[in-house]
Structure 1
Amino acid sequence: MTTAQHKIGSGFDATSTATEVLAGIDLSGKFALVTGGYSGIGLETTRALTAAGAQVLVPARRPDTARAALAGIPAVEVGEVDLADLDSVRAFAERFLATGRGLDIVITNAGLMAAPQTTVGPGWETMFATNHLGHFALINRLWPAVRPGARIVSVSSRGHFYSGIRWHDPHFEQGYEKWAAYGQSKTANSLLAIHLDALAKDRGIRAFALHPGLIQTPLIRHLSRDELRAHPATDEDGNFIGAVKTIEQGAATQVWAATAPRLDGLGGVYLEDCEIAGPAPADGTRVGVRDYAIDPVQAARLWTLSAELTGVNAFA
């Protein structure tokens, strides 16, 4: 498969912070939406974007918690939405569209990792429903407000290595494995950006997927102490060591994706460490991006499936 996955010389790297990648960039007059923008790297993303002049809307399942976390940060507002509930997504989008405002940046940062098996709606596996289908529906519902020139940033992760899309059993009705479920949802995040970019680039709207890096955030809350201790990047107490990013570094790649002039005219690619990632090596080393996570045929197939499941498709 021909790939656009090659470095472009961004001038940044794994140690760069969100503030550093925004140096000299004026976001005055820009409106951004950041799901999960009140915790972990989402909070740092919100903080960095507003410091550069943007106004930020943070959709949150727990709006009171979000407002408390965001207190003192200017130019931020909170809206209520539960990504696992399509009625909640629809209501949120309708409220926003009624304001007549436009969107210049959308960062789908919220998500679950390695959650125990649960289902939502008509029996959908919860991580696939929340991490992917909820964001798919949100983007499509909000599409009339997305301005030409906007960027859509889908936060995937290196977790996509755990699984491609399980076309035969996407909701794990035939047996559950939490890392495969997480991996499928992260592959879906990447494929969403691939096909959305193909659909929207003629309007000058570009989409990117990314791996933010290994960061110790509340995302690990579903992991037991034994699971943390067994992770190759942790010490005997389950604390991450080595090439672990700070929260400020972890937010950098999504902020770079949303704003970097170096990415003008580009899209439909997977990023890591504030760069376009290379293809994953054949030896199985978990760096770069697997072919199935950037495959345009699978991306189109997933878009069709997602539209059928959610009942929404702005490009139909």
Structure 2
Amino acid sequence: MTTPQHPIGSPFGAASTADDIIAGTDLSGRTAIVTGGYSGLGLATTKALSRAGAEVIVSARDIAKAEAALAGIGSVEIAPMDLIDAPSVARFAEDFLASKRPLHLLINSAGIMAAPLRRDAAGHEGHFATNHLGHFRLACLLWPALVDQGARVIAVSSRGHQIAGVDFDDIDFDRRPYDKWVAYGQSKTANILFARALDRRGEKHGVRAFSLHPGQIITDLARHLSDEELAGFDAFDAQGKPIIDPARGMKTPEQGAATALWCATSVQLDGIGGVYCEDCDIAGINHAEMGRKGVAPWAIDDEAAERLWTLSSQWTGCSC
């Protein structure tokens, strides 16, 4: 059954932090995987899960960087994985399944934004291949560990999904001119559609899925942007420090991680799934009076979600 896409009265809000969300939460005996959990929002998420008692496996493209960032954090393992490389994702999943551990939380936090054109080995555009297909492949390969655990799968999307829906006629920019922002927006819409389709398949197996906008946070995600582009976001004060104004969506990494953690742990979401969230609550459907808040209608179109699932399954050779 589709969960209504409207707020449910969460006690948390835009300024809530990761520690606010996990206060009083005991995740002892729970296992979580956080992709990209060694920088930015992913690192804040990993730290919070560890403080709550979870065993956390962090996937990393850069093992040395991950080891440095995660040094001293308890109950954390690091395993190599590059989402754009299908064999790398398969090895990561195989190694985890071989450990015979159940998986309670899969938080898909890694991603790229506004990057130059790159393609994976199969020719798929880089944002779509990394942000969507890599996580799609990972979730499907890890499916045996997720079922019957009361597991939650969290897709970290972005308000950037409002830039573009999925262009099913030319997903990979084979014919249309490449636009790094359209490519990013399409991949973030794909994250939301993925969560809806996965939730539909997972509900009967005790697996629920959610997507979310974390906020506007200056992290390594912005590494492909020029100084001029960054200035256009009006995200820095006169001293060059990031502006923190949660009411406008401008957050610290700890505030940015809060919504993912709320989706992962809140008892308010028991029996709910497939929804897009922001500011630690289910978001409404975007319309003109809301500005940029809420989810674009094209991102919660179940026909589009099923079409994307079918294509993704064909392209990856995976399904749940």
Q: Same fold by TM-score, threshold 0.5 exceeded?
A: yes
Aligned match of 1:251 in 251, 257, 280?
A: 257
Question: Residue 276 of structure 1 is aligned with which of 278, 282, 294?
Answer: 282
Shift of 1:296: 1.0
Matches within 5 A, 1:86-97: 86-97=86-97
- 1:188-247 CA distance string (max 9 Å, x none): 001110000001101221100000001111111111011112224455787543431011
Alpha-carbon displacement from aligned partner over 1:275-302 (angstroms, at most 9, x marks no partner): 0001101357211000111111111110
Distance 1:230 1:24 in 2: 40
**Structure 2: 5+ residue stretches without partners:** none
Match in the other structure for 1:106: 106
Instruction: Compare 241-250 and 31-40 and name the one that shifted more.
Output: 241-250
Deviation at 1:38, TM superposition (A): 0.3
CA contact under 8 A between 2:59 and 2:79: conserved in structure 1?
A: yes
Q: What code does the residue aligned with 2:216 have?
A: L
What residue is the counterpart of 1:286 in the other structure?
A: 292
Contact 2:3–2:272, Cα closer than 8 Å, also in 1: no
Q: Secondary structure at the match of 2:78?
A: strand
How far off is 1:3 after superposition?
7.0
Contact 1:18 1:251 in 2 (8 A): yes
How do 1:3-152 residues align onto structure 2 when only pairs under 5 Å count?
Answer: 4-148=4-148, 149-152=150-153
| TM-score where L is the length of structure 1 | 0.96
> Is the contact made by 2:3 and 2:274 (CA closer than 8 Å) also made in structure 1?
no
Deviates more, 1:234-243 or 1:204-213: 234-243
> Which string of whole-angstrom CA distances, capped at 9 and with x for unpartnered residues, describes residues 146-165 of structure 1?
14210000000000011000
The structure-2 alpha-carbon separation of the partners of 1:137 and 1:85, relative to structure 1 and needing over 3 Å to count, comes to same
Partner of 2:161: 160
Q: Take 1:90 and 1:49, find their aligned partners in 2: how far apart are those partners?
A: 25
TM-score norm. by structure 2 comes to 0.94
Q: Are the counterparts in 2 of residues 193 and 207 from structure 1 also a CA contact under 8 Å?
A: yes
SS at match of 1:279: coil
Q: Once the two structures are aligned, what percentage of the paired residues are identical?
A: 55
The 1-side partners of 2:240 and 2:74 are apart by 36
2:307 to 283, 301, 312: 301
Task: Spell out the pairing of 1:149-298 with structure 2 (5 A cutoff).
Answer: 149-174=150-175, 175-234=177-236, 240-241=242-243, 242=245, 243=248, 244-282=250-288, 285-298=291-304
Query: Does structure 2 retain, via aligned residues, the 8 Å contact 1:153–1:208?
Result: yes
**Residues 33-58 of structure 1: CA deviation (Å, up to 9, x unaligned):** 00010000100100000101100000
Does the 8 Å contact 1:154/1:210 carry over to 2?
A: yes
Q: Is the CA contact 1:229–1:238 (under 8 Å) kept in the aligned structure 2?
A: no
**Inter-partner Cα distance in structure 1 for 2:35 and 2:45:** 10
User: RMSD of the TM alignment (CA)?
Assistant: 1.5
- The secondary structure found in structure 2 opposite 1:107 is strand
State the aligned residue count: 313
Give yes or no for contact 1:229–1:235 (8 Å, CA) kept in 2.
no
What amino acid maps onto 1:219 in structure 2? Answer: L
